[in-house]
Amino acid sequence: MEKTRAQVTCAFCRGTGRSRGAVCQVCRGAGTVALSSPTRRCVYCRGSGLQQRGSALTCGVCRGVGWVTVEEDAVPCPSCRGTGVEPESKLPCLTCRGKGVIAAEKA
């Protein structure tokens, strides 16, 4: 099946193409990033693109884009209940890799 591409606004620079006085490292100055469809807002960083609030580091799940590619038939991850976070370590959930959803066939 052919994957369609979605153009999403870069969360790290909020579509400006610049971050902290330099060209945005996530979108390389474009302001948008092309992802395979369907896309979903990254639950791990809540779409901020940042590893932590106020952090200058990019989210490890979406790499700073704020959006992730998910499966066509995605369902909420049973391990993290859709939060994308491991309850103990606060690291990205190992089952869904921080996306909060997994393919229905793997659920």
Tell the smallest beta-carbon distance from residue 3 to Zn ion (Å). Answer: 21
Of 1 and 20, the one with the shorter C-beta distance to Zn ion is 20
Positions in the binding site for Zn ion (CB under 5 A): 10, 12-13, 24, 26-27, 42, 44-45, 59, 61-62, 77, 79-80, 93, 95-96
Question: Exposure of 77 by Cβ count < 10 A (0-12 exposed, 13-18 middle, 19+ buried)?
Answer: buried
Output 2 or 89, the one with its CB closest to Zn ion: 89
Q: Count the neighbouring beta carbons within 10 Å of the beta carbon of residue 4.
A: 9
Measure the CA–CA gap between 106 and 89, rounded to whole angstroms: 23
> Which of 37, 78 has the CB closer to Zn ion?
78
